[in-house]
Amino acid sequence: MGSNPQVLITFSGISTVMIHLFAFQVMNNLILRSNHSHSVHLIYKVIAVIIAHSSQIVIYAVTYYLLTQHFSLGHLSGYISNNFFEYIYYSLVSY
């Protein structure tokens, strides 16, 4: 990534959009190929959305971690143990 935080932020934004597009495409292909009921299709959609959002939360947790630890841009305050799970939690609650 180099030493430029804008590249990291741009990569994070683009990757989250690409994950959404990929999830919608996979979900659409699964639904078109299946002969299941509408309720099963809805379950496919919910699972795809949960997986997509979970992966995006991890991407932003990595971004927050790198911005604070590597680039020294901001910090988390309060009772923080500075492990990666703190950043996952922050990413989850702010998502």
25-73 pLDDT per residue, tens: 988 888 888 888 888 888 888 988 999 999 999 999 999 999 888 888 8
Phi, psi of 70 (to 5 degrees): -90, -40
- Give the confidence band of 1 by pLDDT, cuts at 50, 70, 90: very low
Helix (H, G, I), strand (E, B) or coil at 56: helix
pTM: 0.82
